[in-house]
Amino acid sequence: MKTEKLIELIDLYFDSELKQGQEVILFTSLGADSQAREYFKKMNSLHSVISESLEEFPQTLDHKILNKLEQFDNKTSTAFLSQKVFTSITLLFSIILLAVSIFFFSKSEEYKVQLVDLTREVSMQNEKIFSIMNTLPEVEVKMPYIRMKMIRVNGESKEHRYIRSILPEVKVIENYIKIKEVKVTAKI
């Protein structure tokens, strides 16, 4: 196997990415390739140097984080408590609103019923009036007709004058008085 390929396998081995089958190939091939063996050794020492270079987590930071966490937790619980109070108040307010709404709703229902009753009464009255009106007989009015009536008189007599005084439209033609006769017929 070529050295480059072996170096690639060594990289994979140290990165824990090497497949099980390849591990056997790598270690078998390492015996035959001194350059790859050298690279393996160097990689091994680099790996241990890196492991040793791991800095310890600073204690001050540890305290800082844990203190902040405690504060944060307290704040959260306070916030939770205030949230609880707020929820209770909101719930109470909602219940009150619900009660008021139910009250107004029942009231409006009452008014609605009253209105329906009144409407019904009014319509009944209306019907009553209508029926009363309809019980009267039918009235029929016909066109008046005018007929001239001729009355015979003797000259300018007393009667003639009298008739003329009460009926100015009467005309005397020779010895006749023409009287407008008006007749109105009505049917009930």
Partner 1 sequence: MKSSSQKIIEFTIIYNRQKTRLYNYAFKMLWDQMLCEDIIQNTFMKLFENMEKIKNTERIETWLFTTVRNQIYTMFRNKRVHVDQFKAADSDKLEIYSEINLEDQYEELEIKELVMKELNSMPVEQREVFLLKEYGGFNYKEIAEMMGISLELVKSRLHKTREKLIKRMSKIII
Residues near partner 1 (CB under 8 A): 7-8, 11, 15-17, 39, 42-43, 45-46, 49-50, 52-58, 60-62, 64-65, 68-69, 72-73, 76-77
Q: Could you tell me the smallest distance in angstroms from the CB atom of residue 106 to partner 1? A: 39
List the one residue out of 169, 170, 176, 171 whose CA is nearest residue 155. 176
52 vs 140, which CB is nearer to partner 1? 52
Q: Could you tell me the smallest distance in angstroms from the CB atom of residue 90 to partner 1? A: 19
58 vs 155, which CB is nearer to partner 1? 58
Helix (H, G, I), strand (E, B) or coil at 179: strand
Helix axis angle, 3-14 to 20-30, nearest 10°: 130
Alpha carbon distance 9, 17 (integer Å): 9
Q: Could you tell me the smallest distance in angstroms from the CB atom of residue 86 to partner 1? A: 17
Q: Could you tell me the smallest distance in angstroms from the CB atom of residue 24 to partner 1? A: 21
Q: Could you tell me the smallest distance in angstroms from the CB atom of residue 87 to partner 1? A: 14
62 vs 121, which CB is nearer to partner 1? 62
List the one residue out of 105, 102, 106, 82 whose CA is nearest residue 94. 102
Q: Which residues of 33-46 are buried (b: 16+ CB within 10 A; e: fewer)?
A: beebeebbeeeeee
Q: Which residue has the tokens 């091994």?
A: 44
63 vs 171, which CB is nearer to partner 1? 63
63 vs 180, which CB is nearer to partner 1? 63
